[in-house]
C-alpha cells in the first residue's frame, strides 16, 4: 500500500487511520528538523476521502488541522 507521495517541494501522507497519519506527520517533521528544514504550517492541509469524517484533529507544531 502506498502511504506517501513525495515531490521536490511537497509530500502527501496517506492513511486510513488518524493516529497512523499523526505518527507519519511526526516522523516527517522530525526528519525535516534534522535537515534544518521546517514544515510550512500555513500550507499544511488535511483532506478526507469518501464518506468518512475526521473525529479528531491532526496536530503540527502546536497547531491543529
Residues facing residue 11 across a β-bridge: 6
Count CA within 13 A, CB hemisphere, residue 60: 20
Per-residue pLDDT reduced to its tens digit, 19-53: 888 888 899 889 888 989 888 878 877 777 766 66
Give Cα 18 distance to the centre of its chain: 10
pLDDT of residue 34: 93
pTM, two decimal places = 0.70
User: What are the counts of helices (DSSP H) followed by strands (DSSP E) for the chain?
Assistant: 1, 4
pLDDT of residue 53: 67
Amino acid at each position: 500500500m502506498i502511504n506517501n507521495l513525495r515531490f521536490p517541494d511537497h509530500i502527501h501522507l496517506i492513511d486510513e487511520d488518524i493516529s497512523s497519519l499523526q505518527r507519519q506527520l511526526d516522523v516527517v517533521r522530525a526528519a525535516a528538523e534534522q535537515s534544518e528544514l521546517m514544515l510550512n504550517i500555513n500550507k499544511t492541509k488535511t483532506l478526507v476521502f469518501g464518506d468518512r469524517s475526521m473525529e479528531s484533529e491532526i496536530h503540527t507544531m502546536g497547531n491543529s488541522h
